[in-house]
Amino acid sequence: MFGRRRGSGPIRAWLMAAAAMLGACAVTAAAAPAPLKADPDNAAQVALGKEVYDRNCASCHGAHLEGQPDWQQRKPDGRLPAPPHDWHGHTWRHPDRQLFGFVKNGVAPYSPPGYQTDMAGFAGILSDAEIWAVIAYIKSSWPEEFRRYQEGLTRRDEAASP
């Protein structure tokens, strides 16, 4: 009886320490954001994305993501040229899900009815994994502050409708 009571001190201390550690883990888990589907820090994903980009996108968006000349001026046919995907363009102003939609379905479904565009969708040509990879590659070209800004858009968009 006496011995048990003497032993309860260290045991209680240990239990409290264990509980504190579990609590700390729970806090860390809650604070750590879910991994991004298009992760510019994932070297393997970025490498796949570069291959996808070079084969499918570079012809219009430029070998170095620079876009077509005078990309902000409509062409004689009324359509927009391909914008850059580096930070000079506006790709970084869109959350990941929207970029994914543009690449998979093309720009027309997200535009007013009858909108004419040269950006067709890649559904049936690229897998979803390849589309996320090309987005990761594009993001990897951006300076840190653009990446952080766009990650904020992506996180808010996903939190708004998971």
Half-sphere exposure of 91 (CA within 13 A, CB side): 29
Contact stretch for ligand HEC (CB under 6 A) within 14-22, 24-32, 114-122, 154-162: 114-122
Query: Is there binding between residue 118 and ligand HEC (CB under 6 A)?
Result: yes
Residue 12, token pair as written in the block: 């209680």
User: What is the DSSP annotation of 80-112?
Assistant: PPPPPSSTTSSGGGS-HHHHHHHHHHBSGGGSS
Smallest separation, CB 17 to ligand HEC (Å): 50
Q: Which stretch binds ligand HEC (CB under 6 A): 9-17, 37-45, 51-59, 139-147?
A: 51-59
Q: How far is the CB of 99 from ligand HEC (least distance, A)?
A: 5
Q: Does 48 bind ligand HEC (CB under 6 A)?
A: no
Candidate ranges 11-19, 22-30, 88-96, 140-148; the one touching ligand HEC (CB under 6 A): 88-96
Counting Cα atoms < 13 Å in the Cβ hemisphere of 60 gives: 11
Of 107, 146, 149, 158, which one interacts with ligand HEC (CB under 6 A)?
107
Dist CA 94 CA 85 (whole Å): 11
Residue 89 makes contact with ligand HEC by CB under 6 A: yes
Indicate whether 83 belongs to the interface with ligand HEC (CB under 6 A): yes
Q: Which two tokens stand for residue 150?
A: 């766009």
Nearest to ligand HEC of 90, 148 (CB atom): 90
CB contact at 8 A, 61 and 84:
yes
122 contacts ligand HEC (rule: CB under 6 A): yes
The span from the CA of 33 to the CA of 134, in Å, is 22
Residues 6+ apart with CB under 8 A from 128: 100, 104
What residues make contact with ligand HEC under the rule CB under 6 A?
A: 56-57, 59-61, 80-83, 85, 89-91, 94, 99, 102-103, 107, 117-119, 122, 134
